[in-house]
Amino acid sequence: MSITAHDWITRSSIDPQVFERWPGYRAVLVAADHVDVTSLAPVAAGLLVEAHTFARSRAGDEPEAHVVRWHDAYRDFGVKPRVGRVSVDALVRRAVSEAGLPSIDVLVDLYNAISVLHGVPIGGEDLDRYDGPARLTIATGDEPFHTTANGEPVVDHPDVGEPVWVDGGGVTCRRWNWRQTSRTAIHADTRSVGFIVDSLDAPDHTGAHRAAERLVELIPGAVVRTVDATAR
């Protein structure tokens, strides 16, 4: 079980029914093998500080238009923002809190900071733990979702009708970008990584492209691909 960055990028897909319901959506995929995490450590630490400063400078402002669009999309599949927040909204709220964003590991800190700075949801996956390419689809409710509860591993299932990212082993992220599985989560030893940058900001998707460009600039050898309604 694993997949190279090139294969993950080129073979991952989005079901047409996603575009039918949310025509303004697209995903920008970024992936790399043999990531030098040690050299990225000071970069990630600096970006995390920058993200806190940025978020706190805007504390109390009205939600950005793109975050409102995500709230509307979540409501569309039956989830109110207070029940399940789009990941970037949750990150910004933590960044402005007294506790701030926790430092988890280099790659997670890196993409969390870029998510806050560019205002888009980003998910990170360990491709050595991945089973084939990624696919965004609408859940039937039968797909296994490996997670934890009270510190113990459990298998949950998504709600019928929610957008989910899946691989050959089940759900890798529920509610589009709300919660990732423990099965493919990035760890301190992750060296082959895939990032999913989500956007509902048609037609230009500026924030998503800038976030992806930043990941590519920072990670030598990273490859990128945009998946939208014209690339199904």
Strand partners, 148: 153
- Residue 185 has a CB neighbour count (10 Å cut-off) of 18
**Which pLDDT score is estimated for 60?**
75
What average pLDDT values come out for the chain (232 residues) when binned by 10 residues? 93 96 95 97 98 91 84 95 91 94 96 96 97 97 94 94 97 96 96 97 88 97 90 57
Q: At 99, is the secondary structure helix, strand, or coil?
A: coil
Strand partners, 227: 27
Q: How far from 26 is each of 29, 147, 206, CA to CA, in Å?
A: 10, 26, 11
**Which pLDDT score is estimated for 7?**
97
Instruction: Read off φ and ψ for residue 147, nearest 5 degrees.
Output: -145, -165
Q: At 122, is the secondary structure helix, strand, or coil?
A: strand
Question: Which residue ranges form the domains of the chain, and what is each CATH number?
Answer: 5-227 (3.50.40)
Q: Which residue, 121, 72, 69, 125, is CA-closest to 92?
A: 121
Q: At 105, is the secondary structure helix, strand, or coil?
A: coil
- Residue 135 has a CB neighbour count (10 Å cut-off) of 17
**Which pLDDT score is estimated for 231?**
65
Taking the C-alpha atoms of residue 213 and residue 218, their distance in angstroms, rounded to an integer, is 9
Task: Report CA dihedral (168, 223, 216, 164) to the nearest 10 degrees.
Answer: -20
**Which pLDDT score is estimated for 63?**
76
**Which pLDDT score is estimated for 230?**
72
Taking the C-alpha atoms of residue 68 and residue 76, their distance in angstroms, rounded to an integer, is 12
**What does pTM read for this prediction?**
0.95
Both tokens assigned to 168? 């050959």
